[in-house]
Structure 1
Amino acid sequence: MPDSLMARSLTLRYDQRTIVDGLDLMLPEGRITVVLGANACGKSTLLRGLARLLTPAAGRVLLGGRDVRDIGPKALARRIGFLPQAATAPGGVTVAELVARGRYPHQRLLQQWSKADAEAVAAAMRATGVEVLRDRVLDELSGGQRQRAWIAMLLAQQTPVMLLDEPTTYLDIAHQLEVLELCRRLNREEARTVVLVLHDLDQACRYADHLVVMREGRVLASGAPAEIMTTELVAEAFGVDALVQPHPVTGTPMIVPIAPVTAPAEVDA
């Protein structure tokens, strides 16, 4: 499994604050994994650790059985692509220039731009619907347009493993579904391993082959959505009483929130 991605006893910290604590995780190769959990449970930190943007305080991240710290930066960037929540670019960058940056890991010292680079950039812009924006400056775009441009850059990188931290942020529902359908198509047609952090539980259950539900820096449950998504899990992970039932169209779990979980009232002795 050359592109299998896993964490072993992974601990990640910011300064002295532990965010991910002794986590073990195996991401199925060639499948779509969605990471879920309440705010501040460690989802984004986990993705940054998997992408080698954070150095583990303990444990390891393995790609194809090899510690990612032993893989050169450019070689790793040809295998793992990462889109953070709040990506930033220098002022004045156009959409076409941003997407072209996704080709950096594939360029050689004596061949800075190739036909393959141009084709990859064009295909990525077509797939995300930003062709008509190619000459627009990124700062002039709406939040949704900018998000699609960043996703196009990630697609142009053409990595077998893609990590996307809340890629539907700023998008209206139509564009949310377009992004998720695009991820599914890349997975099904090109066998890319896709890892998404999402907040919408119904979308997560619809698009994930594999769910990872986190709480306080640890994995609370993992597996196929239909196998692990229960009323009890929703209550424990999100603090919400909910009805979990099959979606009438997709058949995937549908979560109907009812009320916040309330602690039982204390009784005086």
Structure 2
Amino acid sequence: MPDPINTPTSTQSTLQAVRFRGGGFHPRRHPWAALAAFALLIALWEGTSRVGLASPLFLPPPSAVGRALAGMIADGSLWLNLKASLLRIGVGWSLGTLGGLTVGLLMGVASVARAVGVPLVSAFFPIPKIALLPLFILWFGIGEASKFATIGFGVFFPTVIAVYSAIDSVPRNLIRMAQSFGLPWGAILRNILLPGALPGILAGFRITASIALILVVAAEMIGAEYGIGAFVLMAGNLMQTDTLLAGVMVMSALGLTIGALLSLLERRLLVWR
């Protein structure tokens, strides 16, 4: 007589492995897709110029832009202008980020700071920051300080909003649970609030880095001897469109480099995700 315990039933014999369905919204890296898109865009651009659909004066082909870029590298003007812009971005972004982190953190954890800060940030944030450059020149002079102030002022308000919103989005039940276990406020801030808000803060850094790049170019076009913005303005005034587009390509490469560095920082700091 067969053992009913060890005899497989019809239900057991028809069991099948269930496909894993929990991989939705999982980010995947496709580096070749981006490279293929860039290559296709450059090929279309070159082909349009080759067949005569675009004037070389108004839209020079990528080959002419590449020769102009090689000339900038050979004569040293690329590094001279890039070094000036990087210095301004680094100092201005650091000042604005440090102030924005401090104010945004206070607004996120203190009710009085939130009540005072939200209306002020809402009032000052929409002001075009480059419009304040003449005022900063009057205050700080035509030198580097006015450009640092313009970039820092432009970075400050988006950083405040990003930090405040990120802290405010941390689930309240985690904070209440920590308080119920008697954790001190410093431990709650260090172990719950800041790690929970970090993805939003880093996303804000991406926005502020782009804002800093835009503002440094605009500030250099108004009053600077060296810098990518001053270089592009001079090339445009001389109708050297190939050199102008070479400067634009340098700015685009700089933006891609900053984005790659922030992606690396996210992978290091958000490994717990």
Q: Same fold (TM over 0.5)?
A: no
TM-score normalised over the length of structure 2: 0.23
Larger strand proportion of the pair: 1
TM-score normalised over the length of structure 1: 0.23
